């Protein structure tokens, strides 16, 4: 079934607005297209092209919806359509210039130099304000320790608002750490000739570490900075802190994975520790090699390989469980999919 009753002539990948103005999706809210795109991406195997078409169709009906602009920009950026992504994000910023830090972060990743810095600064300003509001809220009630895992989960669910705010605060901190690290990296790469480059880089790193002293990305940025300024001893010490943080995070994630079958709730497991990006772990391994920590580099790279093997095995298991549905999806054309209405 076509996305919205589009004619066969549109089967090769329509651009925004290429669908019939009398299609079945006219009148549907933006959330319909966002959730439909999510369904395509969560399908097995994921149908990226169909997801993009849903977002394009939604934007043709709701051209001023910031969520659609951001989501489609993200998909365009992933496929190398940088200019198209920039146009969408600039429009989103014009529509909401004083709120929504994520679109500023998205656009900053597509820019460089001074333009990139100003976007990160704006996003940081907004995120700091959001974090202040979240931290000013009353803390969630202390949860009683329960003997059984089911009782523990039930007690946590008794205060969903407090738990949600705690989670939002952690996510905001993580985004802030990433933004501050990006600013620091700008000052010792693109903006290294600026008069205050070294001071500004150090200032950004210190703020990132204040927000989360054990964050692997912040610790890695600190180690890289010390390496750039030729502080060999400091770089080694910082690299050792990076390794300790990565190891602790890896152990938390292993423990967290055991909570899923025990509690039946994946969110409970995620609270125990979030996975560090592959990019951060690879960059950390490179740093370890640079400072002579070869065994540590091998260990972290081995963890990545083992994780990849585990995910591959999980993928094969899902393939067996969803054989019927996956064969139906994979045999359809790019314009065909489940009826989202």
Asked whether the predicted pLDDT for residue 295 surpasses 50, the reply is yes
For residues 268 and 288, state if they share a domain.
yes
For residues 53 and 121, state if they share a domain.
no
- The residue-averaged pLDDT of 38-43 equals 93
Q: Is the pTM of this model over 0.85?
A: no
So what's the pLDDT on residue 24?
60
For residues 179 and 240, state if they share a domain.
no
Residue with tokens 């610790």, as numbered in its chain: 219
Asked whether the predicted pLDDT for residue 94 surpasses 50, the reply is yes
For residues 188 and 200, state if they share a domain.
yes
For residues 120 and 183, state if they share a domain.
yes
For residues 77 and 57, state if they share a domain.
yes
CB 61 within 8 A of CB 25: yes
- The residue-averaged pLDDT of 259-284 equals 64
With respect to residue 336, please indicate whether it lies within any of the assigned structural domains. Answer: no
| pLDDT, tens only, 59-74 | 999 999 999 999 999 9
For residues 202 and 225, state if they share a domain.
no
Residue with tokens 């439909």, as numbered in its chain: 36
CATH of the domain at 62: 1.25.40.10
With respect to residue 85, please indicate whether it lies within any of the assigned structural domains. Answer: yes
> Of the candidates 195, 212, 229, which is a domain's last residue?
212
Domains: count for the chain = 3
Residue with tokens 């907004």, as numbered in its chain: 126
For residues 20 and 85, state if they share a domain.
yes
With respect to residue 273, please indicate whether it lies within any of the assigned structural domains. Answer: yes
What spatial distance separates the first Cα and last Cα of the chain, rounded to whole Å? 11
For residues 194 and 281, state if they share a domain.
no
For residues 119 and 24, state if they share a domain.
no
With respect to residue 332, please indicate whether it lies within any of the assigned structural domains. Answer: no
How would you label 151-187 residue by residue, b for 16+ Cβ within 10 Å and e otherwise?
ebbeebeeeeebbebbeebeebbbbbbbbbbbbbbbb
For residue 121, the enclosing domain spans 107-136+162-212
For residues 304 and 269, state if they share a domain.
yes
**How many Cβ atoms from other residues are within 10 Å of residue 60's Cβ?**
21
With respect to residue 4, please indicate whether it lies within any of the assigned structural domains. Answer: no
So what's the pLDDT on residue 151?
42
So what's the pLDDT on residue 159?
52
What is the rounded distance in angstroms from the CA atom of residue 300 to the CA atom of residue 295?
9
> Of the candidates 46, 68, 97, which is a domain's last residue?
97
With respect to residue 71, please indicate whether it lies within any of the assigned structural domains. Answer: yes
């Amino acid at each position: 079934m076509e996305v919205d009753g589009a004619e066969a002539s549109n089967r090769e990948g329509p651009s925004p607005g290429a669908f019939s103005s009398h299609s079945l999706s006219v009148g549907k809210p933006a959330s319909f297209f966002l959730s439909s795109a999510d369904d395509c991406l969560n399908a097995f195997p994921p149908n990226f092209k169909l997801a993009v078409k849903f977002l394009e169709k939604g934007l043709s009906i709701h051209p001023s919806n910031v969520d659609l602009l951001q989501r489609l920009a993200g998909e365009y950026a992933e496929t190398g359509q940088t200019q198209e992504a920039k146009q969408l994000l600039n429009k989103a910023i014009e529509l909401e210039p004083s709120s929504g830090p994520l679109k500023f972060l998205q656009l900053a990743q597509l820019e460089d130099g001074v333009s990139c810095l100003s976007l990160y600064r704006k996003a940081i300003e907004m995120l700091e304000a959001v974090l202040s509001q979240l931290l000013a809220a009353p803390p969630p009630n202390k949860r009683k320790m329960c003997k059984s895992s089911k009782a523990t989960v039930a007690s946590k669910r008794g205060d969903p608002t407090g738990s949600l705010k705690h989670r939002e605060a952690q996510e905001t901190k993580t985004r802030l750490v990433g933004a501050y690290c990006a600013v620091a990296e700008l000052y010792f790469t693109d903006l290294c000739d600026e008069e205050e480059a070294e001071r500004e880089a150090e200032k950004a790193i210190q703020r990132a570490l204040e927000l989360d002293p054990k964050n692997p990305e912040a610790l890695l940025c600190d180690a890289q900075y010390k390496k750039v300024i030729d502080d060999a001893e400091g770089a080694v010490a910082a690299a050792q802190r990076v390794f300790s943080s990565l190891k602790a995070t890896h152990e938390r994630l292993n423990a967290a994975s055991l909570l899923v079958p025990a509690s039946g709730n994946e969110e409970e497991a995620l609270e125990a520790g979030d996975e560090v990006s592959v990019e951060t772990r690879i960059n950390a391994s490179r740093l370890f090699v640079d400072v002579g920590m070869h065994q540590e580099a091998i260990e972290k790279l081995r963890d990545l390989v083992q994780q990849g093997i585990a995910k591959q095995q999980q993928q094969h298991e899902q393939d067996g469980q969803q054989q019927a549905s996956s064969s139906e999806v994979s045999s359809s054309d790019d314009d065909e999919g489940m009826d989202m209405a």
